Structure 1
């Protein structure tokens, strides 16, 4: 019996605690804050990310056409799937909000590995606020016909600065 208790105390409990460790603190300008029902946080507001922290979650790139740009564009960012996984969000819905307070609801089902990214670069350059940045939720529109719809276009928020995880 003592062996099992010791096993749980010395192995499982530290492992569980490590999986819920808070994020590092941003050192640069905060580009994205994720608040609401977020299990992993690094500030009283929720999870704050600078560019370095977003890049550390994994970088994804794809080329696609959009209805807002001319010709194919190369977008680079973190997949929505990787962000949600890192924050251990497993239920609810996402409310993506732009600098100008435009918002759209994004179902958690959209956060798939080959789905949308939170892009910080277009055609190899960081995006400024004037250029729909610093963050833009972009879907791989050309890869999936279901991503070429008004519903998905409405979820493709540029000048993104926060996401609220709602029940």
Structure 2
């Protein structure tokens, strides 16, 4: 069976994103603690934590995991948009996710279930920036789960748009 990281590397070239090496985490089992206010909390079936039973991240600790980008049209913005952030495969690898699905919960309590297999299959991104600028709550930030919608006609459908949660504050791995 192919691991999350290997699967991501094998699909990266065809999905419009590239992954940089991680500088925030060694090959061990620890995660660096954020130094600023956390913007993301991950719980559930994870093996690496830095706050009791959770993995918490500020913008810097997320961006230190490695970066990717997606340039695509979306139903929420006019024209082509560039999103930069952490490849979801890398985030799941960093926390040692062992589940098959995650629930993304937004600041307004919207939630959506997403198969973790989507991340390697499509190159899904947890965007922290839009067109180079940090995403703010007023602009669907600070975190937005984005698919490369232009890369595959299958992605231009209600199912994948509903999985594209914005203002994500919590992820529960199931």
- TM band (smaller chain): 0.7 to 0.9
1:119 is aligned to 127
User: What is the alpha-carbon distance in structure 2 between the residues aligned to residue 52 and residue 113 of structure 1?
Assistant: 26
Matched, 1:72 2:104: no
Gaps in structure 2 of 5+ consecutive residues: 1-25
How many residue pairs get matched?
149
User: What is the alpha-carbon distance in structure 1 between the residues aligned to residue 27 and residue 80 of structure 2?
Assistant: 39
2:95 is aligned to 87
Distance verdict in 2 for CA 1:60–1:133, change over 3 Å: same
Matched, 1:153 2:161: yes
Whichever of the two has the greater Rg, that structure is 1
1:36 is aligned to 44
Report the RMSD for the aligned CA atoms in angstroms: 1.4
Residues 79 and 113 in structure 1, CA contact (< 8 A), matched pair in contact too: no
SS where residue 111 of structure 1 aligns? helix
Q: What is the TM-score of this pair, normalised by structure 2?
A: 0.81
List structure 1 runs of 4+ shifted beyond 3 angstroms: none
Aligned counterparts, 1:1-167, within 5 A: 19-112=27-120, 114-166=122-174
Q: What is the TM-score of this pair, normalised by structure 1?
A: 0.85
